[in-house]
Amino acid sequence: MAKPKLVVVGNGMAGVRTLEELLKLAPDLYDITVFGAERYANYNRILLSPVLAGEQTLQDIMLNDVEWYAQHGIRLHLGKKVVKLDRAKRMVVAEDGTSASYDRLLLATGSNPVILPIPGNDLEGVVTYRDVDDTQAMIEAAAKYRHAVVIGGGLLGLEAANGLKLRGMDVTVVHLMEWLMEKQLDRTAAGLLQKSLEARGLKFRLKTQTREIVGGEDGRVKAVRFADGTELPAELVVMAVGIRPNTALAEAAGLHCHRGIVVNDTMQTFDPRIYAVGECVSHRGIAYGLVAPLFEQARVCANHLARMGIARYEGSVTSTKLKVTGIDVFSAGDFLGGEGTEEIVLSDPVGGVYKKLVIKDNVLVGSVLYGDTVDGAWYFQLLRDRQNIAEIRDHLMFGQTHLGNAGHLGQNKAAAMADDMEVCGCNGVCKGTIVKAIKEKGLFTLEDVRKHTKASSSCGSCTGLVEQILASTIGGAYAPASTAKPLCGCTDLTHEEVRKAIREEKLLSIPETMAFLNWRTPNGCATCRPALNYYLISTWPHEAQDDPQSRFINERAHANIQKDGTYSVVPRIYGGVTSPEQLRRIADVAEKYHIPTVKITGGQRIDLLGVKKEDLPKVWADLGMPSGYAYGKALRTVKTCVGSEWCRFGVQDSTRMGIELEKAFERMWAPHKVKMAVSGCPRNCAESTIKDVGVIGVDSGWEIYVAGNGGIKAEVAQFLVKVKTHEEVLEYCGAFLQLYREEARYLDRTVHWVSRVGLDYVKSRIVDDAPGRRALYERLLYALQGEKDPWQECVKGAAAQEFQPIRLAPQREPAEA
């Protein structure tokens, strides 16, 4: 007997997820045909942002390749857009004439990006951000052009802007509303997000309406004109102002559509043979644009296609996470609150943490988290289940692991979770499902869990939690997956393999390295060029060619670029100790060049903010002071307390020790910024225990701590060794820094490197191996011999072009906290 025919129009995430669920329930029920308008098989659309940013490739985000369809007997038509639906004949027809008849039809046509109805919207260089082709167009434009404007400050717009910035473009985000992501964040969280993105070099124009896109004689966009008459140069314009359900096929066939293809709770249209899922759907008057609701719809739809008929889709509570590397944002429910609601707020703008919980009638109804989102899944579970939180209200802000018997402070977060708690919001996977799969199927790796449960396979934000569940379930049998990955999309080689080749083959320049290692791209990208440049100069300090054009803009200008285009100059003040003569000189320079702001930094130095680019050489010349490297992947500062020279509690001369360390290592380039501190006693006034290298004076000498971090996610430094003399402090600290310089990946902070290799390994190289320690220290001193202070080159005007932004080099991070 012939199988009934199921035709799926749409090869995206919702449609194919429905097929996956159907194949689990009734693998042999249908003869299945799939039409996809794109030429690619099923990929993870929400991971296009990491592809644009150069963090992943198209192959990395494929969910089901062509072979998957063949293995399941599915007839696949790629690059064939269905343009006609004949309900009477029960047939669909594609643009090229390909047709297929159906007994059941699933419409998963997705959505279309909104195109602003303004002049110039069809110019070359004006793109939307919806699919692989859009992403590729932006990548190609970033390699050729300088200025980009992203219209839309929502989730997708910010991800596009971040990706283009990482590819070296000068990016301005234009947004009509008063703050960014107004549908997902409140004003405070949006302000913190904007500040963080500005620190990455993005620019913003809020409350701004775009009136026209201006083209050049060549037919390509050259500027964006606003309602107030002002213009911005633009060689690429990305419209990310929203999406609309793609209902054209359904409407033409006479299906009921209102803000989407209208479906009931079984995902049926009013034609009982036709189902619909995904962004094209309107369910109870709502069209969802997030992945999790679409996958819930897919499960319900599959249940009915499998003729079980017991599932109902009753709508979704949604949550949002921003996919910008290094920025943690989460929101869910009614986070704005209003009449009848209460708010619990934790706000630490300096630390970059903001949490707001909205409660109504002892039920959590909304939350927005910035900087610390670890409990987002728990809050979402409370919100979705409408649990009464009266008994835990006093502890609610501090997260699940602070709930005494419910969490046991300090206990592994995975062990504290109930089996019905959701782990993966994108795919709706709870802890119990993961644990069951691990036990029943004998899973041992993260990839196995992803394959069998889909957890962690979408946006990846739950990966750490899934690994914890895996580790706690199988105990000692768990072996974390290798963290090695290609340096960037230009090569398949890892950071370690590239460094090994540079060392063993004595490669001395970026072109030589790329040629030897068969780089895919002729000039590299914004990710690999700075990394290669660092690996070369750190491996062959007096022989390799330092390429200024592969450095960050701040390192080329020897100053920190600010959001208004001016620069920040921070001269070095050893150990925070200055003199009246230095202060007079700084004051004279500030007055002479009309520098608007003079600020004391957290690193015990003085920051001159608002220096014009053309004044930089003259400012440095008049200061006559060494650079504080506040802009560099280098030693920034050595913070000190006054120590035994002045303090009645001090047991060691921390000021002198700090100055010795700073003078010894002040011109040291590193994989990332390095901060040090020396405290004169265990009271630790210099905050040595949250620095990359911290030294604390004790009665019998000095204790050395490493791999601390005082940023958004503070990490306490770990004890390395106790020594007696200043000379030993210099040797142990220098050896640790050199080991970090030689083995860490570019842009690894010390905390990330030590976390990966383990403190025991560091101790074996620094503490246990005396000859090795001395050799490391000597290599560092050798590397620093003859290293010129960059301000001297700036004064000479030897590299005037270095002040111009270079497209391949990304912008810098903030200077110093």
Tokens representing 290 are 């997030």
Task: Give the mean pLDDT of 2-11.
Answer: 96
Percent of the chain with pLDDT over 70: 90
d(C-alpha 523, C-alpha 549), whole Å:
11
DSSP per-residue codes, 161-188: HHHHHHTT-EEEEE-SSSSTTTTT--HH
Per-residue pLDDT tens for 312-350?
Answer: 999 987 777 765 656 778 888 888 888 889 999 998 887
343 forms bridges with which residues in the sheet?
Answer: 358
pLDDT at 165 over 60: yes
- pLDDT band, residue 409 (cuts 50/70/90): very low
Residue 392's pLDDT is what? 87
Residue 46's pLDDT is what? 82
Q: Which residues contact 598 (CB under 8 A, 6 or more apart)?
A: 586, 587, 590, 606, 607, 608, 609
pTM of the complete model: 0.57
Task: Give the mean pLDDT of 463-472.
Answer: 76
Choose between 429 and 208: higher pLDDT. Answer: 208
- pLDDT band, residue 404 (cuts 50/70/90): very low
Tokens representing 717 are 């430094």
Residue 797's region, left for phi above 0, alpha for psi from -120 to 50, else beta, is: left
Taking 3-state DSSP, the helix, strand and coil percentages for the chain, each rounded to the nearest 5, stand at 35, 20, 40
Least confident of 206-215, 218-227, 613-622: 613-622
Q: Are 358 and 343 in contact (CB under 8 A)?
A: yes
Per-residue pLDDT tens for 775-794?
Answer: 999 999 999 887 666 555 55
Amino acid making up residue 662: E
The segment with the largest mean pLDDT, out of 252-256, 445-449, 612-616, is 252-256
Task: Give the mean pLDDT of 510-532.
Answer: 88
Q: Domains of the chain (ranges plus CATH)?
A: 5-110+245-305 (3.50.50.60), 126-241 (3.50.50.60), 495-550 (no CATH), 633-788 (3.30.413.10)
State the chain's mean pLDDT as an integer. Answer: 86
Residue 20's pLDDT is what? 93
Tokens 């280098």 correspond to 634
Q: Are 778 and 738 in contact (CB under 8 A)?
A: no
The segment with the largest mean pLDDT, out of 161-165, 323-327, 709-713, is 161-165
Q: Which residues contact 591 (CB under 8 A, 6 or more apart)?
A: none
Tokens representing 578 are 């200055």
Residue 351's pLDDT is what? 77
Task: Give the mean pLDDT of 22-32.
Answer: 94
Choose between 240 and 351: higher pLDDT. Answer: 240
Least confident of 189-193, 474-478, 623-627: 474-478
Binding site for siroheme: which residues? 685
Residue 808's pLDDT is what? 35
3-class SS of residue 238: strand
User: How far lies 150's CA from each of 54, 206, 367, in Å?
Assistant: 18, 12, 28
Per-residue pLDDT tens for 359-393?
Answer: 999 999 999 998 887 778 788 878 887 889 888 88
Task: Give the mean pLDDT of 82-94.
Answer: 97
Task: Give the mean pLDDT of 24-41.
Answer: 95
Residue 426's pLDDT is what? 67
Residue 445's pLDDT is what? 74
Least confident of 296-305, 318-327, 451-460, 519-528: 318-327
Least confident of 48-52, 275-279, 460-464: 460-464
- pLDDT band, residue 475 (cuts 50/70/90): low
β-pair type (353-360, 363-370): antiparallel
d(C-alpha 634, C-alpha 587), whole Å:
27
CB atoms within 10 A of CB 29: 16
Residue 367's pLDDT is what? 93
DSSP per-residue codes, 70-108: HHTT-EEEET--EEEEETTTTEEEETTS-EEE-SEEEE-
The segment with the largest mean pLDDT, out of 41-50, 189-198, 276-285, 334-343, is 276-285
Percent of the chain with pLDDT over 90: 55
Residue 554's pLDDT is what? 67
Binding site: which residues? 641, 647, 681, 685
Residue 646 is given by DSSP the state T
Residue 407's pLDDT is what? 35
3-class SS of residue 272: coil
Residue 462's pLDDT is what? 73
β-pair type (560-561, 597-600): unpaired
Task: Give the mean pLDDT of 745-768.
Answer: 89
139-171 burial by CB neighbour count: b if 16+ within 10 A, else e?
bebbbebebbbbbbbbbbbbbbbbbbbbbbbbb
Binding site for [4Fe-4S] cluster: which residues? 641, 647, 681, 685
Helix 726-743, helix 528-539: angle, nearest 10: 130
Tokens representing 435 are 């644990």
